[in-house]
Structure 1
Amino acid sequence: MTQRCEITELFTDQCAHCRRIPDEPAPERPRRRPWFPAAFPGCCAECLDTFDEGDLIRSDGAGGWIAECCDDD
């Protein structure tokens, strides 16, 4: 006979409480986007410095571009 959880009354092998699963998932780490040469001049989304065509940039994930001046690696 399978045991039931005293709190949720679910079978213990199906109960998140008994299996010790956290209520909230762990925060997702942002994925690093690759560097590539800029096709046009622009502005760094982090520090607002300008970059020129050919400078290395990458997406900030929100529609902007991060230049090498703000490389946090």
Structure 2
Amino acid sequence: MGYVWHESGQARYTVTGVTGLAPSGTVRYHDYRAPGGARLTFEAYGEAGWEVAHGSRLDQGDVTVYPQGRGL
């Protein structure tokens, strides 16, 4: 399976809860796609090293998001 570059960039992030990351900072990323919906992404948060993730495209009907009450 061959991956093709899709996009690269950087973004600012802000976290809530316990994540192991600084409360806010910059994330750099490189995203790649393959035929059939496979995804490959490289991310680096702040000065941390690169992390890699592999996945597949989800259809909107595959995911349900429930609201969480404040203070939980």
User: More helix per residue: 1 or 2?
Assistant: 2
Structure number with greater Rg is 1
User: More strand per residue: 1 or 2?
Assistant: 2
Larger relative contact order (CA 8 Å, sep ≥ 6)? 2
**TM-score scaled by length of structure 2:** 0.27
